[in-house]
Structure 1
Amino acid sequence: MKKILIAPNSFKGALTAEEVAQAIETGLKASKIQAELIKFPIADGGDHTSYLLSKHLKGKMEKRAVKGVYLQDTEASYALLDKGKTAIIEVAETTGFKSISGKLRSPIESSSYGLGELIKYNLDQGVLDFIICLGGSASVDGGIGMLQALGMEFLDKAGKAINATSKNYRDIKSFSLDKLKRISQDARFTVLCDVENKLLGADGAAAVFGPQKGASPEDVKALEAFLGYFDKLTEEIIGKSLNSVIGGGAAGGLGAAFIVFLNADIKKGAAYFFELTKIEDQVKNVDWVITGEGSIDSQSLEGKAPVVLAELARKHNKPIIGLAGNIPLKIDKKLQDYFAALLSIGNRPEDLEDAIQHTADNLTRTAKQLGLLLSR
């Protein structure tokens, strides 16, 4: 009997990875294929990563009230592994789109303070190992909100501690790391990040990611000036440049803040997820692998989950099929070489909103046809 590993990522805005896996399984079963179906939903450091790691590694999910991205009250979910010794926190839950109630605002109004609150709470509970998932952020505050929640003090010209923001940054003349070090000195941070953008410049946090978070052209200029000031101040005081960090522009500068101030290790999200969950052991022992994501295109080559999984499949000579809502008309040869087939699930011309509504049905229909083919 064939063994088929069903290991999709989420279809963003439509279905979670678990829901995608369920739809594919339903379609394959409808084809009456004689096969053992193994569902193994995957993530890459974005939404739902904490939940899936908790499920695969037998952890547990918790919730905590913190400040959201606009400092409104919100409830953030996070995972605990290793009998409460490791916390997995998604930035999306505390300072991301999940925390937004009401309309998207300018990221000049944003703060990562809630992320710091949640880290501080777990530190107080004795947690020392943290996995931080940077995907889904709606903030561009360079991490100063988080750092203040963890004890870092920003000082004005009189040496008085102030509540520093991206608005009043010119009042900041120095900072103190004493309390931050006392709170976090024994903690270990692993940051999951799939982009290589630095903090500043045309490819930086403000210019590239700011508009995605509601920034106007004027906002982008203001945020760039703020982040540049913070970088210059950091280099003057501790001799480290926030702008030197590869991936430092991720999550509005949180990538740089974690590396420079909290000595974090930075990892590729999908590869680290696969390492922790030991999915390679599953790949070795199946005949086919089916994966999927909302879009599989040339950008997927930059460490997206389906391609990283395809690399493992190729390593063990296992054919892999990719299902997606969007497959480019002209498929990049390098991308095609990873997959036995790349299939778009759409069944008729329709706008994106309608396509999202039909995702589960389209996945099930496509998987059924795939099952009929694999049964021959």
Structure 2
Amino acid sequence: MNVLLCPDSFKDALSAEQAASAMASGIQRAAPTATINLCPLADGGEGSLEALIAATNAERRQLTVQDALGRPRQASWGWLSEQRTAFIELAEASGLQHLTTHQRNALHTTTYGVGELFLAALDAGATRALLFLGGSATNDAGAGMLQALGAKLVDKNGDSLPPGGAALQQLATLDLSTLDPRLNNLEVEAAVDVDNPLLGPRGASAVFGPQKGASPDDVDTLDRAIGHFADLSAQVLGRDEKELAGAGAAGGMGFAARCFLNATLTPGIEMIMQQAKLPSLLPNVDLIITGEGRLDGQSLSGKTPIGVARLAKRHGKPVIVLAGSLGDGWQACLEEGVTASFALADGPMALEDALPRTAELLADRCESITRLWLAR
């Protein structure tokens, strides 16, 4: 029996690597001689860096950067020296998880720390960077990142803009001539898991601003401010990317990545599966087990289990999904290559009771699945 384990993280419970290890322990109880391949994954959001470091054995590096509120924090990034490739996760510098609920302020949070991570990658000699955009606390359309990389954003008095998306209302001049010239030789691929444009009712501010602390009035302020920034950017660059699918990802960082880093925007799970060499692992496996915290109809938009299932379907391999819960519309996933799906709970239980038991429950489900597989 040859099994491939490629879960995403189980939010607030286990990292993807921890989830894969828990799954493996359950399989080993039922089939001690089974061949087990661990390939923890992510979909481009929070946890993507951890998954890629585990999957590729990349070197983990640390850097003190500014967080979303301008405070110092230790951020990790990944480095593959032979490929001269850097892994940069926006949430490591400017992530929502680093702020308390009361600290969230979408008007003033900044992506400056993300630019600092890019500078570290350039200093290391990177010629390629994979940027993961999920989990941001920011709504500044990448303006802070640009400032860290050398761009000048000034008001009508010639003063540099303060941090945050709201300040972009005062932008008078966008000077890109001072951007770090090494960016010209850096190939950037940005992982996105949404297709929202930059502005409007489906834009960055309206859809994602409230979870970052924006009131309805703040949303209007931010939408106008980053709209002004986008208009000036179009004048400087000679192209308008406001309507680009994914431009609204991470508070407009999709827009900034495309406009100023010339990034290719790619569904996160596809990027990570390729980097983890998942396609090369499939021909020899008998069974694939994946999973994450919740499986529902929204999973079809690019979540890890569906990305895995779609790839496995092309190879004719069965896929079982283990999820903390099965939500509305999960049955649609069966049309995408999922063979069967199971919730983890072994009885009625509250979420606060289930979370500490996630590893145990994953191991138990995998043991049962393995015993059933061997009894065929």
Q: Residues 135-146 of structure 1: matches in 2 within 5 Å?
A: 135-146=134-145
| 1:8/1:17 contact within 8 Å kept | yes
- The corresponding residue for 1:127 is 126
Q: Tell me, in whole angstroms, the C-alpha distance in 2 between the residues paired with 1:180 and 1:260.
A: 13
Distance 1:363 1:166, change over 3 A: same
The equivalent of 2:49 in structure 1 is 50
Task: Kindly provide the amino acid, as one letter, of the partner of residue 226 in structure 2.
Answer: L
Q: Residues 132 and 192 of structure 2 are in contact (CA less than 8 Å); yes or no, is this contact kept in structure 1?
A: yes
Deviates more, 1:284-293 or 1:231-240: 231-240
Aligned to 1:248: 247
Report the alpha carbon displacement of residue 183 of structure 1 after superposing the two structures with TM.
4.7
How far, CA to CA, are the matches of 1:167 and 1:278 in structure 2? 41
Q: Aligned partners of 2:69 and 2:334: how far apart in 1?
A: 39
The 5-angstrom pairing of residues 93-108 of structure 1 reads 93-100=92-99, 103-108=102-107
2:8–2:292 CA contact under 8 A, matched in 1: yes
| Mean Cα deviation higher: 136-145 or 211-220 | 211-220
Task: Give the deviation of 1:214 after TM superposition.
Answer: 2.1
Structural mapping, 1:1-376, within 5 Å: 2-32=1-31, 35-83=34-82, 85-100=84-99, 103-163=102-162, 165-180=164-179, 182-328=181-327, 331-333=330-332, 335-336=334-335, 338-376=337-375
CA gap 1:105/1:98 in 2 versus in 1, 3 angstroms: closer
How far does the alpha carbon of each residue in 1:58-105 deviate from its partner, in whole angstroms, 9 at most, with x for none?
A: 320000000001111101001001347211110010011344378442
Cα pair 1:33 1:371 within 8 Å, conserved: no
Q: Distance in 2 between matches of 1:365 and 1:164?
A: 49
Deviations 1:262-292 (A, max 9, x none): 2111111111111122211211101111111
**Amino acid paired to 2:72:** D
Asked if the contact 1:310/1:339 (under 8 Å) is kept, the reply is: yes
Question: Residues 164 and 172 of structure 1 are in contact (CA less than 8 Å); yes or no, is this contact kept in structure 2?
Answer: no
Separation (CA, whole Å) in 1 of partners of 2:57 and 2:330: 38
Distance in structure 2 (CA, Å) of the matches to 1:160 and 1:329: 51
Q: In 2, Cα distance between the equivalents of 1:23 and 1:258? A: 36
Counterpart AA for 2:118 = I
Distance in 2, matches of 1:317 and 1:106, equals 47
Q: What is the rounded CA distance, in whole Å, between the counterparts of 2:101 and 2:64 in structure 1?
A: 18
Paired amino acid for 2:206: A
SS at match of 2:75: strand
The root-mean-square deviation of aligned C-alpha atoms, in Å, is: 2.0
Tell me the SS of whatever aligns to 1:332.
helix
Q: Residues of 2 paired with 1:336 and 1:185: CA distance?
A: 43
CA–CA distance in structure 2, aligned partners of residues 159 and 282 of structure 1: 56
TM-aligned CA distance change 1:130 to 1:233, over 3 Å: same
CA distance in 2, matches of 1:239, 1:164: 25
Asked whether the equivalents of residues 154 and 163 of structure 1 are also in contact (C-alpha less than 8 Å), the reply is no
Alignment check: 8 A CA contact 1:321 1:342 kept: yes
After TM superposition, the structure 1 stretch with the greater mean CA deviation from structure 2, 356-365 or 198-207, is 356-365
Which letter does structure 2 place at the counterpart of 1:70? L
- Residues 209-228 of structure 1: CA distance to partner in whole angstroms, max 9, x if unpaired? 11122222222122112112
Tell me, yes or no, if the aligned pair for 2:40 and 2:55 is still in contact at 8 Å: no
- Deviation of 1:190 (Å): 1.0
Find the aligned partners of 1:95 and 1:137 in 2 and give their Cα distance: 6
Q: Is the 8 A contact 2:295 2:330 kept in 1?
A: no
Aligned partners of 2:177, 2:297: CA distance in 1, in Å?
A: 45
Distance 1:158 1:119, change over 3 A: same
Partners in 2 of 1:331 and 1:241 — Cα distance?
A: 37
Q: State how far apart, in whole Å, the 1-side matches of 2:263 and 2:304 are.
A: 22
Per-residue displacement from partner, 1:343-363 (whole Å, max 9, x unpaired)? 111122333232222211221
Query: d(CA) in 2 for partners of 1:168 and 1:58?
Result: 40
Is the Cα contact below 8 Å between 2:111 and 2:143 reproduced in 1? yes
Task: In structure 2, give the amino acid aligned to 1:335.
Answer: L
Give how far 1:251 is off: 0.7
Rate the CA distance shift 1:236–1:276 in 2: closer, same or farther, 3 A: same
Seen in structure 2, the aligned counterparts of structure 1 residues 297 and 139 have a Cα distance that, compared at 3 Å, is: same
Answer whether contact 1:45 1:133 (CA < 8 A) is retained: yes
- The answer for unaligned runs of 5 or more in structure 2 is none
Matched residues in 1 for 2:128 and 2:219: separation?
A: 34
Amino acid at match of 1:318: K
Name the count of aligned residue pairs: 375
Cα gap change, 1:355 to 1:218, in 2 (>3 Å): farther
- Structure-1 separation of matches of 2:39 and 2:358: 19
Once the 2 structures are TM-superposed, how far is the Cα of residue 141 of structure 1 from its aligned partner? 0.8
